[in-house]
């Protein structure tokens, strides 16, 4: 009897039950919005308090040459989700507008693109996106949800289908100021001048101007003013709202404790799925303008409203790390932290307050491919698997997350398309000392802007620009009159030969090399041009999701909360409940 009892006690040790923890890790991906690489303390900031983000660096791996595949939100996020350059999915604009601005646009991440969420869901993962999406919602009608997160592998979504804008917060100004000036104020001035001129000529008897002509001009001016007033009145409720799954939960969104609400939902998702593999993409709404922070953070930082928002975001990161620790999931969870692109240096208020972040020593920022626009924080923590405190200076991309997650989950990469990302694990675990990216290609929207080359037998990192944005005013570090740099036409300077930098010696891109300072100048450029040509041959023409027809507001795609009549769209109290949450 005693022997039998002892055998029963030893059986679990002799034949341990396979645990779900041993088979598939959890993934927590945290993406900040417009956070500069110079903002976190672990990247050199001495005055902005980011202890939780810094803790990821101390307890994991810090990438110091981690790159966004695009310097703008929508294309960067498309690349992140698919592991592919955004031009391959049609998420690269040919016009000045490179992102979605309206909830009722018809463009978005195509259904034939495969996201890591969709593939992980097929592997049994519970998947959630909490925060910002910005990759479209509808195609043909407001019930198809063809671009919605639920159509791209996420079981649960709670957040903004588009993005946070100044226009979403009363009193914070507008991102459409330049457009309004061009499309409304200039025509109004022309109409006013025409009315005054024709009226004076008629009064002086020099020209017989029919009264109906003057009336038509007045009516046209009134129509322009009416359209402007309608736009200003309706933009916020029609575009700034929260969704829970496929339902609107608050319209227009309220910034009151917004970070706390989204963070709490993320914690609940983790708790509900503690016993199953899960993917949580916590896509922070901060620190994109309009800036906001709860009362516990407002006015507490040394960097005004921007610093308050950044420190509140760091608090949210800490809450997520704490719940992993509480549930004893830390050692089986890969945590990744990044930003979708560099800080928006042109974000300065009418009062001169700086509402953009810091890109450290790097030139440029959001909207351009100088290092400040694409070099972003890259932190990965997985205790027991990744070495704590390790720094890696090799070129890596946010596209690399796609194959890395699939490899860890045991899922196969799609074999019917080109995947531009590379599995990071050999580099992170020290099995390889070199990045798998010999070449990386930097697009400014649709246009190939620059090529990066890290030769296999060299420590150099060469970067060649085919064109660069014209910073304005002269001597500035951005394109302040247009709020963001544009990618073509008279807004850029083309370089023949390309402008060449060695980032290993000049990371701030201050002094381009020349044939007189670099004997291999022409050979280096020839190699990079050849790589660009080979890459171009792999890019197939696809429908442009950011074309003008796809970007425009379409009334038949406009969503409005069910309890609100017409276009008033007022549901100020956020609806609670888990919806379809797993």
Count CB-CB contacts under 10 A for residue 47: 10
Cα–Cα distance measured from residue 435 to residue 428, given in angstroms and rounded to the nearest whole number = 10
Catalytic residue list contains 73: yes
Element (H, E) at 440: strand 439-444
Encoding tokens for residue 501? 């930098």
In this structure, what is the dihedral angle of CA atoms 6, 9, 14, 16, given to the nearest 10 degrees?
170
Q: From the centroid of its chain, how far is CA 180?
A: 25
Catalytic residue among 73, 284, 560, 569: 73
Confirm whether 134 is a catalytic residue: yes
Given 134, 288, 303, 344, which residue is catalytic?
A: 134
Nearest one of 246, 244, 62 to 151, comparing CA atoms: 246
Measured CA to CA in angstroms, residue 11 lies from 2, 322, 552 at distances of 14, 35, 66
Contacts of 466 (CB under 8 A, 6+ apart): 448, 449, 450, 494, 495, 498
Helix and strand numbers (H, E) in the chain are: 15, 16
**Count of residues for the chain?**
582
Distances, alpha carbon 392 to alpha carbons 41, 351, 379, 432, 438, in Å: 17, 40, 10, 11, 16
User: Helix, strand or coil for residue 358?
Assistant: coil
Instruction: Confirm if 152 and 117 have CB atoms less than 8 A apart.
Output: yes
Q: Pick from 22, 102, 116: which is nearest to 414 by CA?
A: 116
Rounded to 5 degrees, what are φ and ψ at 183? -90, -20
| Torsion angle of the four alpha carbons 290, 295, 300, 302, in this order, in degrees rounded to the nearest 10 | 10
Report the catalytic residues.
73, 134
């Amino acid at each position: 009897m005693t022997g039998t009892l002892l055998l029963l006690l030893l059986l679990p040790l002799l034949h341990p039950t396979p645990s779900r923890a041993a088979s598939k890790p959890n993934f927590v991906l945290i993406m900040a919005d417009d956070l500069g690489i110079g903002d976190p303390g672990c990247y050199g900031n001495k005055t902005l308090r980011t202890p939780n983000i810094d803790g990821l660096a101390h307890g994991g791996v810090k990438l110091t040459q981690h790159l966004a595949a695009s310097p703008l939100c929508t294309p960067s996020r498309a690349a992140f989700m698919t592991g592919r350059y955004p031009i391959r999915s049609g998420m690269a604009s040919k016009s000045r507008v490179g992102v979605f601005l309206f909830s009722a646009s018809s463009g978005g991440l195509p259904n034939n693109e495969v996201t890591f969420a969709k593939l992980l869901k097929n592997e049994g993962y519970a998947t959630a996106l909490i925060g910002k999406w910005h990759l479209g919602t509808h195609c043909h009608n407001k019930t198809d949800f063809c671009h919605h997160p639920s159509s791209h592998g996420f079981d649960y979504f709670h957040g903004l289908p588009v993005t946070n804008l100044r226009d979403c917060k009363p009193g914070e100004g507008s991102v459409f100021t330049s457009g309004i000036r061009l499309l409304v104020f200039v025509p109004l001035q022309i109409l006013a001048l025409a009315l005054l001129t024709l009226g004076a000529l008629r009064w002086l008897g020099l020209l017989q101007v029919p009264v109906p002509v003057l009336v038509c001009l007045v009516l046209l001016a009134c129509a322009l003013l009416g359209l402007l007033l309608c736009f200003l009145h309706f933009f916020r409720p029609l575009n700034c709202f929260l969704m829970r799954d496929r339902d609107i939960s608050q319209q227009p969104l309220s910034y009151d404790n917004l970070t706390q609400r989204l963070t709490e939902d993320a914690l609940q998702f983790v708790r509900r799925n503690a016993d199953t593999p899960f993917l949580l993409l916590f896509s922070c709404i901060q620190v994109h303008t309009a800036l906001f922070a709860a009362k516990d953070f407002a006015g507490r930082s040394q960097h005004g409203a921007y610093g308050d928002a950044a420190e509140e975001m760091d608090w949210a990161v800490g809450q997520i790390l704490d719940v992993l620790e509480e549930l004893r999931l830390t050692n089986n969870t890969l945590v990744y932290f990044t930003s979708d692109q560099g800080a928006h240096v042109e974000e300065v208020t009418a009062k001169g307050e700086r509402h953009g972040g810091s890109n450290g020593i790097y030139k440029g920022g959001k909207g351009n491919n100088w290092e400040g626009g694409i070099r972003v924080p890259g932190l990965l923590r997985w205790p027991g698997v990744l070495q704590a405190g390790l720094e890696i200076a090799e070129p890596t991309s946010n596209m690399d997350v796609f194959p890395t997650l699939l490899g860890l989950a045991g899922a196969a990469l799609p074999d019917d398309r080109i995947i531009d990302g590379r599995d990071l694990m050999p580099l992170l675990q020290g099995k390889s000392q070199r990045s798998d990216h010999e070449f990386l290609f930097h697009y400014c929207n649709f246009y190939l802007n620059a090529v990066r080359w890290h030769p296999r037998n060299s420590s150099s990192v060469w970067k060649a620009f085919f064109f660069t944005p014209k910073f304005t005013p002269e001597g500035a570090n951005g394109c302040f009159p247009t709020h963001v740099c544009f990618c073509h036409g008279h807004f850029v300077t083309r370089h023949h030969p390309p402008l060449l930098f060695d980032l290993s010696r000049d990371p701030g891109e201050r002094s381009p090399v020349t044939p007189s300072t670099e004997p291999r100048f022409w050979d280096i450029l020839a190699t990079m041009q050849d790589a660009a040509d080979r890459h171009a041959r792999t890019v197939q023409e696809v429908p442009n999701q950011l074309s003008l027809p796809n970007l425009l507001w379409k009334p038949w795609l406009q969503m409005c909360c069910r309890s609100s009549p017409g276009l008033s769209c007022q549901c100020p109290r956020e609806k609670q409940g888990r919806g379809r949450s797993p």
